[in-house]
Structure 1
């Protein structure tokens, strides 16, 4: 019963425009951020006073930061996709035929989570192509080492794909917990674009706060990459290990999905 449900969920995603529209925006956004920042720091590294001012980080730090923008700045897109995959079912009243075809609602939600895990990984690949392509191109343009010959770089890239896959499942949990589509989108955008960046900026002001801040979802995502990010550049203090960041994201996805199942998914639908 699970495999047919999974196929149905994948078919639902493929028959809508939103998944590839978000994928295109993700690609352009991440490429713009990675390429733009790469060009900026490349220019600073070429300036006469770059060494004295320390304006540009060394390339062994800069390259992973640029490639990691796929997660640092692009994670909002798989979250939105996951949430829309759930909330659109409520908005367009598709849950009734779905539950008639698969009465066990837990299987439906599990299949949707796995489907979004797959699509999140696809978003990760698309985002990595954008961040690495634009970032490495900018570094090469200024004669800087792209670090693409390092195994650590490719390990980080693989973890970035995993991070976006987990974010998509987190989106499923949020969509199940907040079935109203407009409300879910507002909450996601407000948290990812304002609340968490503000909190991460504030917790960097004190060492004790930084200890708490490393458990924020975005900080856990950066930790999963196992490379410096633009949020942590110049900051002191310990961060989570990459595997701890991954476990924290996976736990968040599981908790949100279970809560969504208990709060709204089990309710009667019309």
Structure 2
């Protein structure tokens, strides 16, 4: 009887050890995120992204040509800029077919997948949003971070789709640390919030954050203490400027956006 109990115990212990070894093998680490960097595999997301009711995508999402890139840097006309980053700049046109104003939210962690051409995928590290009046059509530039260091930046031949929020725990740790810090173009450039609480430029923020993203996607370097200290030094968005999310994770239908004046 004792021998049988001992055999059962050894079997259970061996199974548990094997399970732990399997978990350690499959655990995601920096530099080995499927579909990002030079790691093979499909991009992994929590769920597909869907536009709100009455909001339609007109045409396709593309990169910018040189003239449009220069225009977007000045936030002029219909090419107003949203989001954070400098490597991946995309043009998207949306139309509100409804009879009431609607706000489109692009949540942090959103992966913008290149489906036409061999260009960088884009990742969004901070939630950004834009408001459309009834019947309004808007073409805007979305700034994103490069998630594939070895691939070229997109031009106007590149075609993209909004895939969904990444399921990468490595990237989500970074996103959770960023929280509601002011890293978006519309939160920093031409906004009154900057002069009150910001002691670094948008370009400085983006340069350092892109290095951190590339460390996680390409170089196999985890968040360092200096990275954490830098991120924690970025001011947070005031509470009254943050959209509230309900118990089901839904953003409000209509929410005021940041208005960035031309430079």
Q: Note whether the superposition's TM-score is higher than 0.5.
A: no
- The structure with the largest strand share of the pair is 2
TM-score normalised to structure 2 length? 0.27
Structure with greater Cα Rg = 2
TM-score normalised to structure 1 length? 0.27
